[in-house]
Amino acid sequence: MSSDFYKLTIEEVVKETEDCVSLSFGIPDELKDKFSFYSGQYLTLKQEIDGADLRRSYSLCSEPSSGVHKVAIKQVEKGVFSTFANVSIKKGDSIECFPPTGNFKHIPSPKSEKNYVLFAAGSGITPILSILKSILLHEEKSTVNLFYGNKGFSSVIFREEIEALKNNFINRLSVTHIFSKENLGNRIQKGRIDEEKCEYLYDAFLKDIVIDDIYICGPEQMTLSIREVSIRRGVPSSNIHLELFGTSIKKVKSVVAKNTPSFDSVIELKLDGDEFEFPLNSEGENILDAAQKTGIDLPFACKGGVCCTCKAKVLEGNVSMDVNYGLEQDEIENGYVLTCQAHPTTEKVIISFDD
């Protein structure tokens, strides 16, 4: 993966709710191919704020065939970038942007006749909305059940757009809102989407449906609970797709066996046709941080093993990862690792961002 960011102009800024703003980017003709995407994928934005080089990922909420590249950014408490976006960004500003990427994606197949179930909470609606539109527009025979958790009506991002979709695709889309702080007059729609609530939702809405695919995006505990219930209800785990915006699970220390003495390794790194080399101790920092300290400009965003922006392929030697929330099994089998989580386990490691 190249480390190139591209300067894009912000063509539209819309206040979606009190604490969420959407930004649409203009993509020049020469970048159209680089910025093509699948529903579910995300952009990474880069901005210097108070001297710090901040990079944050935001899922595209628009649908690829619309030609629109739109993200929605919810302001989190004390969040540096999300506050900047909600308070300071204006139409006509430009911002550095890394092309769309990510494994959480839906590729529509016009002949499909599938039953999809989508779960979102809060800003987790962004990739889910794109996937929802992709299914409704490009799979004429597929149906969707969307469950969307929020505090109350006023915090529902894209409420009107979802209502319009419901009206336009009345036979194929069912939408159920679940509110933690507002009462809709029934027990099922009140509360948070936890394991118990998910069981209720299955009984009330999904009992007679053979579910083909489930897409989930929201807080970590919610996504894991839905996954667990869905597996119990017979949905194969390979058909349950999760997107995390972050993780609360504490980083574990390097996975090199505790009784193995530490050793010095040489890391050879390939990026955009260039080669770099630097030493790294097996119990030292991760490969991404170590490379950055030597001045190499590598692609990264979350540094938490979630977004996969730092993905690279190990060509020689071995590494171990602290955590991995983003890579698929086949990518791991093909030698890909998350460099923000990777530590050398052999004395020489050759790793490529170009493969």
Ligand X SMILES: Cc1cc2nc3c(=O)[nH]c(=O)nc-3n(C[C@H](O)[C@H](O)[C@H](O)COP(=O)(O)OP(=O)(O)OC[C@H]3O[C@@H](n4cnc5c(N)ncnc54)[C@H](O)[C@@H]3O)c2cc1C
The residues that touch ligand FES, with contacts defined as CB under 6 A, are 300-303, 305-310, 326, 338, 340
Which one of ligand X, ligand FES, none interacts with residue 201, CB within 5 to 8 A by kind? none
Tell me how far, at minimum, the Cβ of 281 lies from ligand FES, in Å. 20
Q: Where in 228-267 is the site for ligand X (CB under 6 A)?
A: 245-246
The 8-class DSSP code of residue 91 comes to T
Task: Tell me how far apart the alpha carbons of residues 221 and 71 are, in angstroms, rounded to a whole number.
Answer: 24
Tell me how far, at minimum, the Cβ of 280 lies from ligand X, in Å. 25
Which one of ligand FES, ligand X, none interacts with residue 58, CB within 5 to 8 A by kind? ligand X
Kindly state whether residue 86 participates in binding ligand X, applying the rule CB under 6 A: no
Nearer of residues 218 and 326 to ligand FES, judged by Cβ: 326
Q: Please choose, out of 76-84, 178-186, 266-274, 334-342, the segment that lies near ligand X by the rule CB under 6 A.
A: 76-84
Task: Tell me how far apart the alpha carbons of residues 308 and 315 are, in angstroms, rounded to a whole number.
Answer: 18
According to the 3-state scheme, what is the secondary structure of 275-329? Answer: EEEEEEECCCCCHHHHHHHCCCCCCCCCCCCCCCCCEEEEEECCEEECCCCCCCH
β 264-271/173-179 pair status? unpaired
Q: Can you tell me whether residue 278 is helix, strand or coil?
A: strand
Choosing from 48, 78, 167, 171, the residue that interacts with ligand X (CB under 6 A) is 78
Choosing from 16, 56, 99, 131, the residue that interacts with ligand X (CB under 6 A) is 56
CB 139 within 8 A of CB 110: yes
Tell me how far, at minimum, the Cβ of 296 lies from ligand X, in Å. 22
Give me the residue whose beta carbon is nearest to ligand FES: 340
Neighbours of 53 (CB within 10 A): 12
Kindly state whether residue 131 participates in binding ligand X, applying the rule CB under 6 A: no
Nearer of residues 80 and 350 to ligand X, judged by Cβ: 80
Which one of ligand X, ligand FES, none interacts with residue 340, CB within 5 to 8 A by kind? ligand FES
* DSSP run (H or E) holding 82: helix 80-87
Q: What is the dihedral sign for C-alpha 19, 326, 104, 25?
A: positive
Binding-site string for ligand X from residue 189 to residue 228, where x marks contact by CB under 6 A and - marks none: ----------------------------------------
The 8-class DSSP code of residue 214 comes to E
CB 61 within 8 A of CB 306: no
Question: For the chain, what is the largest distance between any 2 Cα atoms, rounded to a whole number of angstroms?
Answer: 64
Residues in the site for ligand X, rule: CB under 6 A? 42, 56-59, 71-74, 76, 78-83, 102, 123, 126, 245-246, 302, 306-307
